[in-house]
Structure 1
């Protein structure tokens, strides 16, 4: 369905569009008038250790002073105390009835706390901030007195920034207004398309059959609005935005899920709904299981969202849960567009080639970052977007700069390339493309495979090894030994051209195996820190998107993050996703009737295995580019499997046989 056709439908159904749009605008105006402006006041408090600690051995008889250290643990205890329900009741008795927060100061390694109060009465907010600042000092003293700390060793609070004059915070009000307007317009859009589909079905049902007549081909007006749009075209635009707009840039109100690519994916979902409800497209047969798996994940997400709403969650957690729902809709968009929207296998092949080509360009950008010791994404700025990742800068390990190209982090760069590398190999070996120049076929493989070790991470090497272990054994002996020779030569080339890189990478694995790696030890500690949160909400979790580093900590493990956010149900749904991807690869290879399709199935199998394993090394689905490529590949695997199933069914149905006497001449009466 073209954009012109969608516009024509909306004009015909103006009696839905106009009233709903006017109502949404009136609702937004009502909110603007009635919802008061919020004001926020902040103060900063530092923790000071006792002067007596310099003369005594560690511990000083004060279990809260952290042995003269930076008092980070003490500050964390105080923050948790201030955010407890008992503290909230005490503050309410003192007149602090507006929402308040207590946390560490941004980008600070010292025990510096930021206390803030948000309300609609400016004078009251200032009084409440003063009361909260005083209460923080009293609570710290009470904690130490309960531990029977000698007065000479007490930790004290010192106001660094006194309660500031409250400033207006209008963003939440404008967000509510925008939500009402968008909801009204989208509802009118979907209702108009739905009624158009119902009208089309009725006309087809009541129309009398007419004899077929020859008609002149209907001319279609030229122009961009009347050009046919299909799912491949929409997904191509998504790929351009996902690969070439830095994934850390997003709309300010949406956080990490508000990347331009994700917003366009949601628009693509609206296009599919309009085309489907308008009776112009039907989901591709044989692709339903992929969308059923997404429904299972959706149930886990909704259950976690309900669990978050039923507990006393903070305002930041509520916003995180809302963003989690938006992110899930983006994933649904990608799966639906690839599995149900692509109706022609040739167009799906085109989409996969575009994915590989664009991924290889991102890999080339990674080469530039590595050798120039810079990050080209830092110089890219898009008006209206801001970074959603704190402290994004050039990262290094050993003597090497770790590239990230247009991704948010080197691990996302490595993971994204690792799940795309099997398809680059499959396309290079495809007999259909043998007429192309060898560099054109193998350049994506060289760029992606060569960029992976440059990230100097265990994740990239694990991904490379998994791709080799899954794909190489299935090849014929000649190709297999050639691949082993190329991989061995590649190690030698890296050792000569980039001295020290291979040694640094082997050192990473050696320290991991000897349990002497600091990053591995830090992750192990985080695994045990997840257990208390899992015990609180074991089945449904705390809420999808709520376990953010700003409020808690980095998990560096997608499975641990899902356990904290969606509980056991979410973990089962996530594993089902990965297993479904593996099943797609195996089923495609089993049903394939050509060597090209068998290689394609093995590529899907390898990509899904890589995603399954490396998700234990970082919180993979928290990064928009990796998550987008994973769900796009999941939907593409389901679409390819549907095509092969339909081909197998058509081949199994025998052709209609003619009657035995049909070929005989008709008897004619002799005269």
Structure 2
């Protein structure tokens, strides 16, 4: 690989594969799978599995520039993979109905694919320039999906009907536009409007970061402002409580890290954006507001409350390793709409702890890079990635994240990027300063009777 500072042509590397993965996840409709396969495998899943094989091969040699050694994000991904294998072995040791066994097989392969993407990104994306390239590609892919969703919402035009690459087939019904409160509820190229809104909200901090970086350090910034506007509008048009919550989470992380003057501008920008949405799409803001005020009588909220009761007996019966990831079929047992509850049911306490650890490890790497680096670009990028990971981390309590391929793929990819950013900072010249600084020297204990030791000194001087 030719270093960036030499001006040579950049060869394909881990960032290249990750960019292809991000575009495949967002530009190809989620309902399309590969033809001629006995299992429903999406193009993104296939790319993830290839990335895992290539990562494993690259770890066997030392000449391909792939990072090695421990990393918090890499460790969290590895432990999460171990929990999935343990749960699968526990679930398939006894009898499983054919439909649950097929779902467990596909879920295991899906999770191994996204875990491979995260580990490959953590070890294979080297340097700030390649991290930027990957994150910008993720913003571009999410913006394309947002444009498709906006056209679905505003004009009822569904471009997914024309996004049919050769070699793919629909897996079930291709329906990407639902309805809520007399509004079209778009899904873009995602599998559901909730996933669509959350993925757009995950990309909002990245678009804002590159827009502000272009203004502060030079470079293009108008294109990123345009992406930011498209992503924010699409998040609102998803008519999803999870998307609104995701935007709020991103703001809570990003705004306090700004300078006081920019903080005020950001708050004013949010107010202007909400006001513009009220004017451009009458009734949209009121509908979103009513989703929260009427939550006590909302059918979906009532379904989530009943889900806790349904899951209680399953949790008690399979507390440690769960009943098996993917074996709790919503059509058969009822919807949970809560990834943490679903993980506790299907992966047990072990899987739930390691899922939370996965989110925390990604945020730790991002914040550790911010604290250890003096480069303002790296510092801003650290808090931005942490905000992006916090979006699915908290939104997992409001919808079943792992049941949606695009949201899951972006989440694991961001965790891997956080690990890659921390590796980049660790490799900077001069090393990494300690997290807590140098320990303070303990002061000497004051003497109880100082006059007893000072008397000989006075005598000696007088002599």
TM-score bin, normalised by smaller chain: 0.7 to 0.9
After TM superposition, list the pairs within 5 Å mapping 1:547-566 onto structure 2: 547-566=328-347
Aligned with 2:395 (options 608, 611, 614): 614
Aligned with 1:629 (options 399, 402, 410): 410
Change (3 A) 1:392 1:505: same
Give the equivalent residue in structure 2 for 1:375.
158
Change (3 A) 1:619 1:340: same
Give the equivalent residue in structure 2 for 1:402.
185
Give the equivalent residue in structure 1 for 2:269.
486
Contact 2:73 2:365 survives alignment (8 Å): no
What is the TM-score normalised by the length of structure 1?
Answer: 0.60
Secondary structure, in 3 states, of the residue corresponding to 2:271?
Answer: helix
Instruction: Pick which of 350-359 and 370-379 moved more.
Output: 370-379
Aligned with 1:335 (options 101, 118, 139): 118
Aligned with 2:420 (options 636, 639, 643): 639
Give the equivalent residue in structure 1 for 2:202.
419
Secondary structure, in 3 states, of the residue corresponding to 1:650?
Answer: coil
Contact 1:304 1:540 survives alignment (8 Å): yes
Higher relative contact order (CA 8 A, sep 6+): 2
Secondary structure, in 3 states, of the residue corresponding to 1:551?
Answer: helix
Question: What are structure 1's unaligned runs of at least 5 residues?
Answer: 2-226, 654-671
Aligned equivalents of 2:60 and 2:163: distance in 1?
A: 39
Secondary structure, in 3 states, of the residue corresponding to 1:402?
Answer: strand
Aligned equivalents of 1:393 and 1:231: distance in 2?
A: 32
Secondary structure, in 3 states, of the residue corresponding to 1:401?
Answer: strand
Q: Give yes or no for the alignment of 1:353 onto 2:124.
A: no
CA deviations 1:212-264 (Å, max 9, x no partner) are: xxxxxxxxxxxxxxx943112212221221111101212375656x1111102
Contact 1:362 1:405 survives alignment (8 Å): yes
Aligned with 1:267 (options 50, 64, 67): 50
Q: Give yes or no for the alignment of 1:469 onto 2:249.
A: no
Contact 1:255 1:388 survives alignment (8 Å): no
Give the equivalent residue in structure 1 for 2:22.
239
4+ runs of 1 displaced by more than 4 Å? 252-256, 431-434
Q: Give yes or no for the alignment of 1:320 onto 2:85.
A: no
Aligned equivalents of 1:324 and 1:282: distance in 2?
A: 32
Aligned equivalents of 1:637 and 1:449: distance in 2?
A: 23
Aligned equivalents of 1:228 and 1:361: distance in 2?
A: 26
Contact 1:374 1:394 survives alignment (8 Å): no
How far off its partner does 1:346 sit?
Answer: 1.7
Contact 1:584 1:604 survives alignment (8 Å): no
Give the equivalent residue in structure 2 for 1:457.
240
Contact 1:287 1:638 survives alignment (8 Å): no
CA deviations 1:354-374 (Å, max 9, x no partner) are: 111222222122211110124
Aligned equivalents of 1:336 and 1:571: distance in 2?
A: 20
Aligned equivalents of 1:437 and 1:500: distance in 2?
A: 35
Aligned equivalents of 2:249 and 2:44: distance in 1?
A: 29
Change (3 A) 1:274 1:228: farther
Aligned with 2:369 (options 566, 570, 588): 588
Change (3 A) 1:389 1:602: farther
Instruction: Pick which of 388-397 and 554-563 moved more.
Output: 388-397
Aligned equivalents of 1:651 and 1:563: distance in 2?
A: 38
Secondary structure, in 3 states, of the residue corresponding to 1:284?
Answer: coil
Max radius of gyration: which structure? 1
Question: What are structure 2's unaligned runs of at least 5 residues?
Answer: 2-9, 435-463
How far off its partner does 1:391 sit?
Answer: 7.0
Aligned equivalents of 1:393 and 1:359: distance in 2?
A: 16
Aligned equivalents of 2:82 and 2:433: distance in 1?
A: 37
Secondary structure, in 3 states, of the residue corresponding to 1:250?
Answer: strand
Secondary structure, in 3 states, of the residue corresponding to 2:378?
Answer: helix
- What is the alpha-carbon root mean square deviation over aligned residues? 2.3
How far off its partner does 1:267 sit?
Answer: 1.4
Secondary structure, in 3 states, of the residue corresponding to 1:229?
Answer: coil
Change (3 A) 1:627 1:532: same
Change (3 A) 1:287 1:358: farther
How far off its partner does 1:428 sit?
Answer: 0.9
Aligned equivalents of 1:394 and 1:505: distance in 2?
A: 18
Contact 2:343 2:352 survives alignment (8 Å): yes
Aligned equivalents of 2:103 and 2:171: distance in 1?
A: 13
Contact 2:152 2:177 survives alignment (8 Å): no
Aligned equivalents of 1:329 and 1:314: distance in 2?
A: 22
Aligned equivalents of 2:388 and 2:257: distance in 1?
A: 15
Contact 1:558 1:621 survives alignment (8 Å): yes
Contact 1:339 1:636 survives alignment (8 Å): yes
Contact 1:389 1:408 survives alignment (8 Å): no
Contact 1:232 1:347 survives alignment (8 Å): yes
CA deviations 1:374-399 (Å, max 9, x no partner) are: 43224433455344465735201112
Q: How many residues get paired?
A: 426
Give the equivalent residue in structure 1 for 2:454.
none
Give the equivalent residue in structure 1 for 2:93.
310
Aligned equivalents of 1:497 and 1:631: distance in 2?
A: 35
CA deviations 1:247-290 (Å, max 9, x no partner) are: 1212375656x111110221122223333324423542565322
Contact 2:122 2:420 survives alignment (8 Å): yes
Change (3 A) 1:649 1:566: farther
Secondary structure, in 3 states, of the residue corresponding to 1:556?
Answer: coil
Change (3 A) 1:636 1:393: closer
Aligned equivalents of 1:431 and 1:384: distance in 2?
A: 40
